[in-house]
Structure 1
Amino acid sequence: MTVRLTLVCAAAPTGREVRFGGASLDEQALLRARTAGPAVSGGGVRYRGPSQRCRATAAALAWDGTVVEPALRDLDMGRWDGRTLDEVAAGEPAALAAWAVDPEAAPHGGESVAELCRRIAAWLDALPEDAGRVAAVVEQAVVRAAVLGALSAPYASFWRVDVAPLAAVELTGRAGRWNLRWGAAGS
């Protein structure tokens, strides 16, 4: 049986400075999520990442009964968590440059992009073949990692995958073989 997995990127705060580790959602972001609800209905088993943004997005989408899945957590940014890109660039320019080009680098003491990609690939491959429809609200980095896994793309491609807040990405397949399904909204 083919698994149909819909990954919904968590809503993002509006009008605030972007920080590693994210920020809580404002009312405008929650309104966007409530409005998007019917278009990203998902189905079957519903998961969410453990972050506050994933929790708030799932609630705004009216996804009752979502299962918190620790494997779907955001990229661990270590000591950079809560800092802005400008703050890190000013304080650790060489470390930031290394992290941006080397997927195995984790100068912040957290998780490398490659480690995230391997974690998400393992979660995808562990989904039971009879899972049917599965949906999850996750952070942008998790969607990126899942897309790379589905396409067997190199980890260096991570920064080339743009995922908008509330975008829905559908993957179909099963352990070891995944496909990216384009234009799947409302299916």
Structure 2
Amino acid sequence: MQNVLRLDLVSHGMTEAMRKARFPVDEPLTEAGRRAVAACGRLHAARVITAPERRATETAALLGLMGDEDDRLRDLDAGAWRGGELLSVPKEDLYLWLTDPTYRGHGGESVIEVIERTGEWLADIAADGEPTIGVTHPSVIRAALLVALDAPAKSFWRIDVPPVCVTRLHYRGEWTVHFRS
């Protein structure tokens, strides 16, 4: 029988962009975000990997987790919308972005591209076989859940990943979602 590999995906803490419904830039956590991360229990794994953005590395540091950065854990690139308010996007473009996983009208990255790079990262984690903590973004955690569940890309925006959330995946030949009690 194959051993079970554990992967904990941690969503970074609250940022000003999240609070104000803006597309993120590379920004720090808010004070409330830092407090929420500090109140989170400690996590342990053989390896820690973080997204390269400040909000992810700051979350990892506040959790006492030091590790390597992996660009595949970076946030969804919103292109020309980066730093702007969600409501400033024309309704037609916002509708396409939320319903068509191949949409790249903002000049950034499509949902499909995020799912593909996340899937590649998950395959590498499975092949390495070490218990891992990944500190990353809601978009990457959504993508990981779609890969684990073999769910369609159009389901991407139907998953709500709050700040400082821990999502556990197990691997034993296939990824599964594991809810802790």
Equivalent residue, structure 2, for 1:45: 47
Structure 1, unpaired ranges of 5+: none
One of 119, 122, 130 as aligned partner of 1:121: 119
Q: How big is the shift at 1:129?
A: 3.4
Q: CA RMSD in A?
A: 1.7
Q: What is the percent sequence identity of the aligned residues?
A: 34
Q: How big is the shift at 1:69?
A: 0.7
SS of the aligned residue for 2:127 comes to coil
Q: Which residue identity does 1:3 align to in structure 2?
A: L
Distance (whole Å) between structure 2 residues aligned to residue 76 and residue 145 of structure 1: 14
Equivalent residue, structure 2, for 1:21: 24
Structure 2, unpaired ranges of 5+: none
Equivalent residue, structure 1, for 2:175: 178
Q: How big is the shift at 1:134?
A: 0.4
SS of the aligned residue for 1:7 comes to strand
TM-score (norm 2): 0.91
SS of the aligned residue for 2:40 comes to helix
Distance (whole Å) between structure 1 residues aligned to residue 6 and residue 86 of structure 2: 35
Q: How big is the shift at 1:13?
A: 2.5
Distance change (3 Å), C-alpha of 1:13 and 1:130? closer
How many residues are aligned here?
Answer: 177
Could you report, residue by residue, the CA deviation over 1:86-144 in whole angstroms, capped at 9, with x for unpaired residues?
Answer: 112xxx32211111110111110111011101110111012253523100110010000
Is contact 1:37-1:60 (8 Å) kept?
A: no
SS of the aligned residue for 1:129 comes to helix
Is contact 1:6-1:42 (8 Å) kept?
A: no
Q: How big is the shift at 1:150?
A: 0.1
Q: Which moved more, 1:155-164 or 1:124-133?
A: 124-133
Is contact 2:12-2:59 (8 Å) kept?
A: yes
TM-score (norm 1): 0.88
Could you report, residue by residue, the CA deviation over 1:47-103 in whole angstroms, capped at 9, with x for unpaired residues?
Answer: 100111101101111113x11111110101110111110112xxx322111111101
Distance (whole Å) between structure 2 residues aligned to residue 153 and residue 115 of structure 1: 15
Is contact 1:2-1:132 (8 Å) kept?
A: no
Q: How big is the shift at 1:32?
A: 1.0
Is contact 1:6-1:170 (8 Å) kept?
A: yes
The aligned runs of 1:65-80 (5 Å cut-off) are: 66-80=67-81
Equivalent residue, structure 2, for 1:100: 98
Q: Which residue identity does 2:65 align to in structure 1?
A: W
Equivalent residue, structure 1, for 2:10: 8
Is contact 2:45-2:131 (8 Å) kept?
A: yes
Q: How big is the shift at 1:174?
A: 5.4
SS of the aligned residue for 1:54 comes to helix
Is contact 2:14-2:32 (8 Å) kept?
A: no
Equivalent residue, structure 2, for 1:34: 38
